Copies of this chain bind each other. A is one copy, B any other.
């Protein structure tokens, strides 16, 4: 797992500002800029594993990453899918604990590593940043409470519709924009997100196709009728 195909370079300040502008805003933190390096990762590369210790945080420049937990039988549960602009791994770093989850690229991904001391330093000298971090943690908690409720109460069909709604954002799907892009996940990953068996997932995708909610192009899933899909999701 230690293939060093990655190539690093120091980033320009403006780049970092650009990256982080939408999420946690680190733009005014000088220290962070110094040791930031960019890495290019291939598909299916593990960034960190559950149970290991964080050495810093990662900021995603491009690509998509799955955050998952491995269950008893080795079956993964996907907790979240992150995309460019997202910050990753700060939670475990801040609580000084092991990663409670693992991270793996879903496609070719570029990310920027910010060493722990830089990030901590920035936080202690900048209460706005601290506030942002807390807000981000809170947001995650809200989403997770929702996930718990959905998983505990809704049938698979509704959960799948809900997951597709979420993935519309993750994969920047613009309904008006035709078929150019789509949700590009393996059936297994999607099943591990929804919390079901791959076979069940496939059968439901067929139902959705029959109901003209989606279309598929090989592995890719295209959203045909977002409104109707939302109804199927039966959101709270």
Q: What residues on B are CB-neighbors of A96 within 8 Å?
A: 135
Q: How far is the CA of A145 from the CA of B56 in the complex (A)?
A: 21
Q: How far is the CA of A162 from the CA of B65 in the complex (A)?
A: 30
Most B CB within 10 A of own CB, among A144, A147, A148? A148
Q: Are A139 and B72 in contact (CB under 8 A)?
A: no
Chain B minimum-CB-distance residue to A69: B149
Instruction: Say which one of A7-15, A29-37, A151-159, A202-210 lies at the interface with B.
Output: A151-159
Q: Are B145 and A79 in contact (CB under 8 A)?
A: yes
Could you say which of B92, B150, B195 contacts A138, with CB atoms under 8 Å apart? B92
The 7 closest A-B pairs by CB, nearest first: A152-B195, A95-B138, A77-B149, A144-B144, A100-B142, A151-B151, A71-B153
Q: How far is the CA of A116 from the CA of B106 in the complex (A)?
A: 42
> Interface of A with B (CB < 8 Å)?
69-73, 75, 77, 79, 91-92, 94-97, 100-101, 124, 127, 130-131, 133-135, 137-142, 144-154, 194-195, 234-236
Chain B minimum-CB-distance residue to A68: B149
Q: Are B77 and A141 in contact (CB under 8 A)?
A: no
Q: What residues on B are CB-neighbors of A77 within 8 Å?
A: 148-149, 152-153
Contacts A71-B152, A77-B152 given; 14 further ones with Cβ under 8 A? A69-B146, A69-B149, A71-B236, A73-B153, A77-B153, A79-B148, A79-B149, A91-B137, A95-B139, A97-B142, A101-B145, A130-B130, A141-B141, A144-B147
Q: How far is the CA of A77 from the CA of B150 in the complex (A)?
A: 9
Q: How far is the CA of A140 from the CA of B140 in the complex (A)?
A: 10
Asked, given contacts A72-B154, A236-B71, whether A148 binds B142 with beta carbons under 8 Å apart, the answer is no
Asked, given contacts A151-B148, A152-B77, whether A138 binds B91 with beta carbons under 8 Å apart, the answer is yes
Q: How far is the CA of A96 from the CA of B138 in the complex (A)?
A: 10
Q: Are B94 and A134 in contact (CB under 8 A)?
A: yes
